[in-house]
């Protein structure tokens, strides 16, 4: 399983919180690439709800991962 920002962007508007099956259904209905669906299928299905992409992709970059000096803009 691998994630990129492009692949993760297909789940941006997903109905969070959601189970693995709900996310797979959403990805299929929204026309996400097969890689997104395969990544979701690789998740362990214990019936748990995922609160966001951060629960699926541990290394998901957040705003704090990027440094933009706001005083320069």
Q: How far apart are CA 58 and CA 43, in angstroms?
A: 12
- How far the first Cα of the chain sits from its last, in Å, is 38
38: domain range? 16-59
What's the total number of domains in the chain?
1
Mean of the pLDDT values across residues 44-65? Answer: 81
Residue 20 lies in a domain: yes
Residue 8 lies in a domain: no
Q: What is the pTM of this model?
A: 0.80
Write out pLDDT tens, residues 1-53.
788 889 999 999 999 999 999 999 999 999 999 999 999 999 988 888 999 99
Residue 7 lies in a domain: no
């Amino acid at each position: 399983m691998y994630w990129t920002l492009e692949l993760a962007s297909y789940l941006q508007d997903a109905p969070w919180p959601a189970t693995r099956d709900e996310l797979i259904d959403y990805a299929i209905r929204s026309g996400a690439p097969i890689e997104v669906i395969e990544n979701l299928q690789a998740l362990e299905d214990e019936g748990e709800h995922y609160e966001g992409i951060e629960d699926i992709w541990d290394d998901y970059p957040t705003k704090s991962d990027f440094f933009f000096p706001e005083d320069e803009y």
